[in-house]
Structures are given as structure tokens and as C-alpha cells.
């Protein structure tokens, strides 16, 4: 018999997990504190689908990004998720890149081109996963802040992003803590045809310039460690910090004025990353936490990992049901969870 499962948190990770479990015929209920899914870190990021070309080989994060890459094409096709297959370039790329056998070519000046780095609309991506999960029977309870251990469920999957440590603590698990690492962005009405990447540091991927699905260009993010998990403001000094680096990468930005700005808060673990597994304090709780910088890219891999973990085998419980498919404009997963109405960076 399949267990009854609660997912706490409707970011891209929670929605991907809900879809995976619904495809395995698990009775799954997702609780989201906000009135909509995909509006926290998952709706305020760079929207880049990373290939893993710069992810340290052998780490769980890297493995799940690579697995997600293999799963993604089928999902974006079936659910009609918008994707710009634009590729990325990194000037002065370190000689050890690319990692993980990711397809890339290096020019004589050291520039690395990575054609598989794509851009999506991260809100539409998350809503599409939620919509598909819903149409396969997953229940979504929006506007519901989970404060206790949900005794009516056999398994609780903690995908609560910034608040995953608090959810874990309500189960007696204080094994990790989460802090917000803010990233600020500026949106421009200036075209750019590819993702322009700086050489990465051990701390962040740095300030990028990247195109959006709707033909704009975004510069950012910063990386500022905070304590306040509700500070989604864009600091005054952020523009100077971002533009100094962005103009160097994309000179047409020199005279441009931003048409919008936004900030995202990465759910960063203190001293840990990708905390995925059963809590020692309570066997009912499975943490999927501290998914700091790559959760959009890795979400499908994370979800499959959880599906296999819970069921004990890739094909247990009758395997994985096919995805619902879009059959044209306005059709597809019939749920108001799918709302691709406003540009995602304005939400």
C-alpha cells in the first residue's frame, strides 16, 4: 500500500516532488503558506537551467542536476514550459571546466561555450509542475502555514525552503539551520542573445547577464548573507555592485536604465547543502532542504530521487504514470494553478 504523503512548501522542489508522487499514485497533499506556488526563491531567481558544467563531480547536488537534465526535455515538451535554448558563454573560464562531461567548446582565447545552458520562466516552470500534479490527483492547500507535525500523514516531506529548519524543529529535528542569501537583479529593455557568465568563485556563480523568455535582459544576482528571512528588498547599493560587473560583460547596458528590479532569497544551509534524507529524530519526516543555488535546475532529479527513496525501487507501486500533455493553446492540466499571465520577474 502507498503511504499518505504531505509535502510542506510549494516552491519548485515541493511541486516537482508532488508531481513525481502523483505519477506514482501516491495520495499527496501539498501545503503552501503563501496564496500561490512558486513565489519565494523559486520565483525570484535567474531562471537558468544549469547543465552542471561547473558543478563539483560526485556531489549529490551535481548528480541531481545531471539527472534532471536527462529528465527535463520530456517534461518541458509535455507541459509546454517556455524555454530559451540560448546557451551560455564564459570568458576566461578556468581550465578544468567543463566538469561532468557536459558538452562545451573552448575558443582560442579561453572562452567556453556551453550550448546546453538554457533559460526558462521559473514561475511558469513551477506552476506547470503544480498543474500537472494537480491534474494527476495531488491536492494543493494554499495559504496554509504548517506549524506542527501533521499527524494525519504517514510521511511528511519538508520542502519549506527558508523555513525548512523550523519545520524540521517541529518534528524534534534541529540537525541543520537555514539562512537567507539575498540575490538582487535589474531588468532591462536591452537584448542579449546568450547567458553571459563570469568565472565562478567557490562562494557564488557571480553576476550574470542573461536573456528572458520575453526578450528582456537581466543582470545579477548579488550574494548578501542575511539573518532576516523576510527581507526581500533591493538595497540601494545593489545597482552599483551589479552594474559595474554587468556593463563589462555586456557594454550595451552602459547607458540603459532598469525597467524593474527584484530580490530573491536563497535558502542556504549553514555549513551544509542539499540536506536530503530521513530525519534521525522522526522517521516520518524527510527533509529536502538547503537547496540553495540550483534547485530550479535540479528539481526533477530531486523529485525522482525522493520518489525512489519513498517507494524503495524505481518501478514500485506500478511505476511512473505518463505526464499529462498540452494539446494546444489554453488546454493542458486543467487547474488555476497554471497562471502564466504576467512576466515572471514582475510577480
The β-bridge relationship of strands 275-278 and 224-225 is unpaired
Q: Does 46 bind ligand FAD (CB under 6 A)?
A: yes
Question: Closest distance between ligand FAD and the C-beta of residue 141, in Å?
Answer: 9
Binding residue for ligand FAD, selected from 6, 26, 28, 42, defined by CB under 6 A: 42
For ligand FAD, give the closer residue by CB, 212 or 311: 212
What single string gives the DSSP state of each residue in 102-149? ---EE-TTS-EEETT-EEE-HHHHHHHHHHHHHHTT-EEEET----S-
Instruction: HSE, CB side, 13 Å, CA atoms: give it for residue 4.
Output: 7
| Backbone CA torsion sign across 122, 61, 40, 4 | positive
For ligand FAD, give the closer residue by CB, 216 or 292: 292
Write each residue from 51 to 70 as x if it is in contact with ligand FAD (CB under 6 A), else as -, in one continuous string: --------------------
Q: Does 307 bind ligand FAD (CB under 6 A)?
A: no
Helix, strand, coil % over all residues of the chain, rounded to 5: 30, 20, 50
What single string gives the DSSP state of each residue in 277-326? EE-SS-TTEEEEE---S-HHHHHHHHHHHHHHHHHSSTTGGG--PPPP--
Write each residue from 186 to 215 as x if it is in contact with ligand FAD (CB under 6 A), else as -, in one continuous string: ------------------------------
Residue 288 bridge partners (DSSP): 276
Binding residue for ligand FAD, selected from 27, 33, 60, 71, defined by CB under 6 A: 33
For ligand FAD, give the closer residue by CB, 133 or 159: 159
Residue 157 bridge partners (DSSP): 7, 286
| Binding region for ligand FAD (CB under 6 A) out of 73-81, 104-112, 260-268, 317-325 | 260-268
For ligand FAD, give the closer residue by CB, 8 or 132: 8
Q: Does 128 bind ligand FAD (CB under 6 A)?
A: no
Cα(85)–Cα(322) distance, integer angstroms: 25
| Binding region for ligand FAD (CB under 6 A) out of 51-59, 75-83, 226-234, 263-271 | 263-271
Largest CA distance in the chain: 62
Task: Count CB atoms within 10 A of the CB of residue 117.
Answer: 26
Write each residue from 218 to 257 as x if it is in contact with ligand FAD (CB under 6 A), else as -, in one continuous string: ---x------------------------------------
Residues 153-192 that bind ligand FAD (CB under 6 A): 159-163, 167, 183
Q: Does 291 bind ligand FAD (CB under 6 A)?
A: yes
- Coil vs helix vs strand at 185: strand
C-alpha angle 106-107-110 in degrees, rounded to nearest 5:
80
Give the H/E segment covering residue 18.
helix 12-23
Q: Does 261 bind ligand FAD (CB under 6 A)?
A: no
For ligand FAD, give the closer residue by CB, 146 or 190: 146
Alpha carbon 324 to chain centroid distance? 21
Q: Does 264 bind ligand FAD (CB under 6 A)?
A: yes
Question: Closest distance between ligand FAD and the C-beta of residue 323, in Å?
Answer: 20
- Using CB under 6 A, list all residues that contact ligand FAD: 8-14, 31-34, 40-42, 44-48, 50, 145-146, 159-163, 167, 183, 221, 264-267, 291-297
Amino acid at each position: 500500500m502507498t503511504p499518505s504523503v504531505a509535502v510542506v512548501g510549494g516552491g519548485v522542489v515541493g511541486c516537482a516532488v508532488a508531481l513525481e508522487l502523483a505519477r506514482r499514485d501516491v495520495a499527496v497533499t501539498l501545503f503552501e503558506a503563501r496564496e500561490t506556488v512558486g513565489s519565494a526563491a523559486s520565483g525570484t531567481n535567474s531562471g537558468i537551467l544549469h547543465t552542471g558544467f561547473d558543478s563539483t563531480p560526485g556531489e549529490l547536488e551535481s548528480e541531481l542536476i545531471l539527472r534532471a537534465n536527462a529528465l527535463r526535455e520530456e517534461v518541458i515538451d509535455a507541459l509546454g514550459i517556455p524555454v530559451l535554448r540560448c546557451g551560455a558563454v564564459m570568458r576566461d573560464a578556468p581550465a578544468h571546466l567543463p566538469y561532468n562531461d557536459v558538452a562545451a567548446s573552448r575558443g582560442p582565447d579561453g572562452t567556453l561555450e556551453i550550448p546546453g545552458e538554457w533559460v526558462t520562466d521559473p514561475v511558469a516552470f513551477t506552476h506547470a509542475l503544480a498543474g500537472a500534479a494537480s491534474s494527476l490527483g495531488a491536492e494543493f492547500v494554499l495559504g496554509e502555514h504548517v506549524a506542527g507535525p501533521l499527524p494525519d500523514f504517514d510521511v511528511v516531506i519538508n520542502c519549506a525552503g527558508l523555513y525548512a529548519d523550523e519545520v524540521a524543529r517541529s518534528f524534534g529535528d534541529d540537525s541543520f539551520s537555514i539562512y537567507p542569501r539575498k540575490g538582487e537583479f535589474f531588468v532591462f529593455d536591452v537584448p542579449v542573445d546568450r547567458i553571459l557568465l563570469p568565472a565562478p568563485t567557490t562562494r557564488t556563480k557571480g553576476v550574470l547577464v542573461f536573456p528572458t523568455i520575453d526578450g528582456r535582459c537581466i543582470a545579477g544576482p548579488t550574494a548578501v548573507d542575511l539573518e532576516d528571512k523576510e527581507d526581500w528588498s533591493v538595497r540601494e547599493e545593489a545597482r552599483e555592485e551589479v552594474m559595474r560587473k554587468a556593463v563589462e560583460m555586456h557594454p550595451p547596458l552602459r547607458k540603459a536604465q532598469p525597467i524593474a528590479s527584484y530580490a530573491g532569497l536563497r535558502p542556504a544551509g549553514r555549513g551544509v547543502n542539499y540536506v536530503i534524507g530521513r530525519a534521525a529524530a522522526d522517521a516520518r519526516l524527510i527533509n529536502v532542504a538547503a537547496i540553495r543555488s540550483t534547485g530550479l535546475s535540479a528539481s526533477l532529479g530531486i523529485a525522482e530521487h525522493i520518489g525512489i527513496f519513498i517507494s524503495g525501487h524505481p518501478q514500485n507501486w506500478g511505476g511512473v504514470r505518463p505526464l499529462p500533455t498540452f494539446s494546444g493553446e489554453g488546454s493542458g492540466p486543467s487547474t488555476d494553478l497554471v497562471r502564466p499571465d504576467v512576466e515572471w520577474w514582475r510577480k
